């Protein structure tokens, strides 16, 4: 009797392992590769928090590209124009990094002394592919 249950238990165990492996592959490779915007929304809403280190954000989103020159000035002007959405304000030492969302857009995050500022995870609660995810 015991020998008849062993194949069923073993099959169930293998099934659970395959499910776990498939889930990890889906979130670890498939989502970031083929559903980049949805993946970024998910990470920016569930995992990224104001105060996170840049290393932690880079580990979640991939490495960002530092904004300098005109791009930096443009972001600074945006923050000055819309202070209500940027409660930590703007300081000269702040740095900005763009993280690709798709082929033509990116999300821009602001860091102060290696810590994320002005990030509201609630802004990314609802994914709508028709709405821009980020500053372009």
* Tens-place pLDDT, residues 40-90: 888 898 999 999 999 999 999 889 999 999 999 999 999 999 998 899 999
Instruction: Using the predicted structure, report yes or no on whether residue 33 has a pLDDT greater than 70.
Output: no
Residue 13 confidence (pLDDT)? 63
Output the pTM of the full model: 0.69
3-class SS at 1?
coil
Quick one: which H or E segment has residue 109?
strand 106-112
Say how many CA atoms lie within 13 Å of 90 toward its Cβ. Answer: 17
Give the tokens for residue 16: 């659970």
Residue 134 φ/ψ, nearest 5 degrees: -150, 175
Taking only the tens place, the pLDDT of each residue in 92-118 is 999 999 988 777 778 899 999 999 999
Helix H segments across the chain?
2-25, 31-34, 36-46, 54-61, 69-81
């Amino acid at each position: 009797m015991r020998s008849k249950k062993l194949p069923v238990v073993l099959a169930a165990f293998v099934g659970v392992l395959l499910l776990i492996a498939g889930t990890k592959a889906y979130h670890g490779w498939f989502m970031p590769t083929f559903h980049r915007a949805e993946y970024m929304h998910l990470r920016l809403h569930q995992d990224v928090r104001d105060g996170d280190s840049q290393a932690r954000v880079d580990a979640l989103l991939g490495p960002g590209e530092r904004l300098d020159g005109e791009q930096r000035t443009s972001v600074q002007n945006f923050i000055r124009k819309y202070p209500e959405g940027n409660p930590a304000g703007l300081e000269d030492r702040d740095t900005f990094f763009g993280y690709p969302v798709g082929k033509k857009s990116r999300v821009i995050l602001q860091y102060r002394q290696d810590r994320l500022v002005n990030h509201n995870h609630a802004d990314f609660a609802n994914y709508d592919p028709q709405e821009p995810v980020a500053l372009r």
